[in-house]
Amino acid sequence: MLTKKQWEHCLEEMDRMFPNAHCELVHDNAFELTIATLLSAQCTDVLVNKVTKTLFQKYKTPEDYLAVPLEELQQDIRSIGLYRNKAKNIQALCQRLLDEYKGEIPATREALVTLPGVGRKTANVVLSVAFDIPALAVDTHVERVSKRLGLCRWKDSVLEVEETIMKKTPMDKWSKTHHQLIFFGRYHCKAQNPGCHACPLLRDCREGQKRLKKGLVKEA
């Protein structure tokens, strides 16, 4: 497992590589971010942004999403995976916002996870990005990178990964670390053909060292 000093080195290198890492879901407010993050489950941010470019012009408020038949909303997001279920969740979420929160996105994890279609990951994204509250969302990139590096164990659950990263990272860096891990996983340490041969983290990376020993990469 990575030592604290090794993890600090990894954070420094990722900060050098991706100093401007940020949420790539295009949005103007907490409500749009919540909808976009809900849509992003098992889907790329690129596709979500393509859909929301027109979606957010048509729907501005929870009332707007409830003013159309479910079938119409499904058609509006049809190019996104699981669109039927996501459309249903969006309308249910909007109804809950109107019934319980005066149409506004709540700013606590406890309240956010009660919204239809909103799990812990989405809640953490909204807290961090929309409300600037320290939180660390674990998506597929964050989980993959943290386990490859040996910061977390391969058998760890998503919640265990989140707790480990938060424990070993200063709270004021949680949000930044979340985005930089995503950028590192999305643009460098990819699921297929990770850039081990040119990786500044190779000396600390469990997976990279394993690949090196097997002759799959050259030492950086």
The catalytically annotated residue of 76, 86, 139, 176 is: 139
Q: Measured between alpha carbons, how far is 146 from 150 in angstroms, rounded to an integer?
A: 6
pLDDT at 218 over 80: no
Contact 134, 172 (CB under 8 A): yes
pTM of the model: 0.92
User: Which among 136, 137, 139, 165 is positioned nearest to 150, based on CA atoms?
Assistant: 165
For the record, the structure tokens of 45 come out as 């941010």
- What pLDDT, on the 0 to 100 scale, is given for residue 54? 98
The catalytically annotated residue of 86, 121, 168, 176 is: 121
pLDDT at 147 over 50: yes
The alpha carbon torsion through 194, 199, 204, 205 (nearest 10 deg) reads 0
Helical packing angle, 4-17 and 174-187, nearest 10° = 70
- What pLDDT, on the 0 to 100 scale, is given for residue 193? 84
- What pLDDT, on the 0 to 100 scale, is given for residue 106? 98
- Structure-token match 């290198």, residue found: 13
Mean pLDDT of the chain: 95
Banded model confidence at residue 215, pLDDT cuts 50, 70, 90: confident
Catalytic (active site) residue 15: no
Banded model confidence at residue 201, pLDDT cuts 50, 70, 90: very high
pLDDT at 94 over 90: yes
- What pLDDT, on the 0 to 100 scale, is given for residue 114? 96
Catalytic (active site) residue 139: yes
